[in-house]
Amino acid sequence: MSAGDNNNRTLWIALAANLGIALSKFGAAAFTGSSAMLTEGVHSLVDSANQLLLIWGRKASRRPPDRLHPFGYGRELYFWSFVVAVMVFALGAGVSVYEGILHISNPEPAVSPLVAYVVLLFAFLLEGGSTFSAFKEFREAKGQLGWFDAVKRSKDPPTFIVLLENGAAMFGIVIAAIGLGLSQLTGDPRFDGTASIIIGAILGFTAWILAVESKQLLIGESADRETIDGLRAIVVGRQGITGVGDVLTVHSAPDQITAMMSVDFDDGLSGREIEDIVAAIEAEACQRWPLVRRLYIRPQRGAGQEAPMSGDVDGASAVQPRDPRTGTIVEA
């Protein structure tokens, strides 16, 4: 899946919608005494803070490289995405479950539930508009990939974080309405508290997905297999090269890939000829894959004679142990 265009439009739309929804939900919760409505207000407030963090993360990740961070600040976006996941779990899911248990232990009937229904409908419509915007952005970014694969392979967390958060929010609104309705029909306000706990479980599951995907990017995730195979293909068979070993890549940011490969050059080449070959490879790689911002080529004798190495779904190769002095493969 290609990186997104780093457009914050969807984030600003989601922020405006969630702020309006949070205010209306808190007002309705104070008026009706609904536990589920209060937890929904907390959920929307947390979502608003999350959008601000993602907007800041995108801005911070664009800072140019400096002496202390020669590869730039691209991964800062991944850090703030992980913080968002933690906030969804701690503040969203945690508060929801706590309020639900509290409401079940000390049930209080809701007052004027009609107000709550109006606010929930208003919130559902606003969330629907924000979700539609996030859906369009993610659909364009995912290309031909399936939705689940697109989330796993995405290198731009905000594109799927907003979509997942909004989806959880809309599901939570429906659960809150059902809980309030059952409380009215049965006269048992504990259904409202149960709805809060279910909403908390939904948020907890969403936070887990966000945390797992953000962690993978934060610790370093390779480029897709097509890019890795393509980089190898432009080197293999090139005149003056007798073999290609490791091709290692890592995303430094959604739109930045750092690549490294070991290459065995013909022993008869001069230093200048090797420099010309490397320059040609770099030029072709940058032209075909604009995301490849840095390409490091390491001359290594016998690089093409290495045994095939297994890789994960993204094509990251497992590096065989080598002698640090000679660079040769160490037998297991």
pLDDT band at 96 (very low <50, low <70, confident <90, very high): confident
What pTM, to 2 d.p., does this model score? 0.70
- What burial letters (b/e) apply to 295-309, b meaning 16+ CB within 10 Å? bebeebeebeebeee
| Domain residue extents for the chain | 9-219, 225-305
Residue 68 φ then ψ, to 5°: -80, -25
pLDDT given at position 70: 84
pLDDT given at position 4: 43
Q: Is 9 left (phi over 0), alpha (psi -120 to 50) or beta?
A: alpha
Sign of CA pseudo-dihedral 122, 123, 126, 132: negative
Residue 267 φ then ψ, to 5°: -65, -20
Task: Tell me the chain's radius of gyration from C-alpha atoms.
Answer: 26
Report the amino acid identity of residue 270: S
Mean pLDDT of 190-215: 87
pLDDT given at position 305: 53
Which secondary-structure segment (H or E) carries 67?
none
pLDDT band at 213 (very low <50, low <70, confident <90, very high): confident
HSE (CB half, 13 Å, CA atoms) of 258? 12
Torsion angle, alpha carbons of 232, 236, 239, 240, to 10:
80
pLDDT given at position 111: 65
pLDDT given at position 221: 85
pLDDT band at 307 (very low <50, low <70, confident <90, very high): very low
- Contacts of residues 89-93 at CB distance under 8 Å and 24 or more positions apart, as own/partner, are 89/203, 89/204, 89/207, 89/208, 89/211, 91/42, 91/46, 92/42, 92/43, 92/46, 92/47, 92/200, 92/203, 92/207, 93/200, 93/201, 93/203, 93/204, 93/207
Distances (CA, A) of 112 to 80, 118, 180: 40, 11, 11
DSSP tag of 70: T
Local structure of 111: helix, strand or coil: coil
Q: What is the pLDDT of residues 42-91, one digit of tens each?
A: 778 888 888 898 899 888 888 888 888 888 888 888 899 899 888 888 87
- Mean pLDDT, the chain, rounded, equals 79
294 contact partners, CB below 8 Å, separation of at least 6:
71, 257, 258, 259
Residue 145 burial (10 A CB sphere; 0-12, 13-18, 19+): middle
pLDDT given at position 41: 79
Euclidean distance between CA atoms 222 and 217, whole angstroms: 9
Euclidean distance between CA atoms 281 and 286, whole angstroms: 9
Q: What tokens does 243 get?
A: 């073999």
- Asked whether the predicted pLDDT for residue 330 surpasses 70, the reply is no
HSE (CB half, 13 Å, CA atoms) of 87? 21
pLDDT band at 252 (very low <50, low <70, confident <90, very high): confident
Euclidean distance between CA atoms 247 and 179, whole angstroms: 54
pLDDT given at position 304: 63
Is there a common fold for 9-219 and 225-305? Answer: no
User: What topology is assigned to 225-305 in CATH?
Assistant: Alpha-Beta Plaits (3.30.70)
CATH number for the domain running over 9-219: 1.20.1510.10
Q: What is the pLDDT of residues 266-291, one digit of tens each?
A: 888 888 888 899 999 998 998 899 88
Torsion angle, alpha carbons of 309, 310, 311, 315, to 10:
60
Distances (CA, A) of 301 to 267, 269, 273, 317: 9, 13, 17, 19
